Amino acid sequence: MSASKATAKDWDEVRKAFADSIMIDTSLTSLAQNLDGADWPIKSKDETPAKYVDLTFDEVQEILVLKGQPTERFDQLVSILKETLAFDDPFGEMVEQTAESAAKDNTLIKNLAKLGIPGDFPVKLTALNSDTLEFCRLEKLATLEAFAVFAQGMAQNVIVGGDFRKLLNALSHVDEASLAEVLPFRPGVKGLHLVEALAQATRTADPYAHAEEAKTWFSDQFALLARDASSPATLARHFVVLGNPALEQKAAALLKPRPRGSRGDGGPKTGFFASLARLFKK
């Protein structure tokens, strides 16, 4: 079997460049057809660039051999990716400039800034319903800024509903009460807050998992709450803003990691957090 013409350096360059391409999940068969080159002979559903770009030079050749393909198939793969990138590149600068301009003139992003809400706040940490979260995942809307750019770029005749519409309208009209329903936002106070994030976590399918991610994001606020955790009365004052005693206790309970039974590595759970954690066992 002859050696491939494409080198390890060729492969590393093209796979890294293609990792950010919008064509990464397009079938190799379609890419080959678009380039008017030889057909890509492997026809399975998952036969896309995404299947290969995380593999090393040796790994990608090995997997092609295991599929019964000749050495030349690797060269074809490199060629398909290179030519697809060459086709996309002339538009790259234009797309970047358009996105930058759209962000600068985006009313929703301006309103986020006015409210002190960080644009890079993860959509997955919002209280949007599952359908809206799934839509955002499929559209790769990972942050509030990405949501804002996408929402403002939609055609005006596109009808949206549910929590997507609620967040869109709340940001458009700076409706703080509605924002507080889907974001860990406190009406009358700028920014986002861990206390509200923990309260919203209590209504998710996995409260502790949501809370752990929220504590990581709000690390400074978590440090403040952790400092006051030794005094139940002091800690409780942080949560009184929720205005619901039962919710305040459940939210505070999420400051601790997920319980692993009545005993852990350190023995029985005792004190304030032990009683709060038991709320989730009722």
Closest by Cα among 82, 106, 64, 73 to 23: 82
Written as six digits, the tokens of 197 are: 């994030």
pLDDT at 217: 96
Q: What is the pLDDT of residue 104?
A: 62
Residue 18: count of CB within 10 angstroms of its CB: 20
First vs last C-alpha separation in the chain:
66
Rounded distance between C-alpha atoms, residue 164 and residue 228, angstroms: 36
- In this predicted structure, what is the pLDDT of residue 147? 93
Specify the residue for token string 């319903």: 129
Closest by CA to 42, choosing from 23, 60, 24, 69, is 69
Question: What's the pLDDT score for residue 216?
Answer: 96
- Distance, in Å, from the CA atom of 201 to the CA atom of 18, rounded to the nearest integer, reads 37
Per-residue pLDDT of the chain (282 residues; tens, 9 = 90+): 456 688 999 899 898 888 878 788 888 988 888 777 788 999 887 899 999 999 999 999 999 999 899 989 999 999 999 888 876 554 444 344 445 555 567 889 999 999 999 999 999 999 999 989 998 998 899 999 999 988 887 755 455 678 998 999 999 999 999 999 999 999 999 999 999 999 999 999 999 999 999 999 999 999 999 999 889 899 999 999 999 999 999 999 999 988 875 333 344 444 444 444 443 343
- In this prediction, residue 268 carries a pLDDT of 43
The per-residue DSSP string of the chain comes to -PPPSS-HHHHHHHHHHHTT-TTTTS-HHHHHHHTT-PPP----TT-SGGGTTTS-HHHHHHHHHHTT--THHHHHHHHHHHHHHHHHHHHHHHHHHHHHHHHHT-HHHHHHHHTT--TT-BGGGS---HHHHHHHHHTT--BHHHHHHHHHHS-TT----HHHHHHHHHHHHT-HHHHHHHSSB-TTS-SB-HHHHHHHHTTSSSHHHHHHHHHHHTHHHHHHHHHHTT-HHHHHHHHGGG--HHHHHHHHHTTSPPP-SSEETTEE--SHHHHHHGGGG-
Max alpha carbon distance in the chain (Å)?
Answer: 75
**What pLDDT, on the 0 to 100 scale, is given for residue 117?**
97
Nearest to 281 by CA among 261, 263, 266: 261
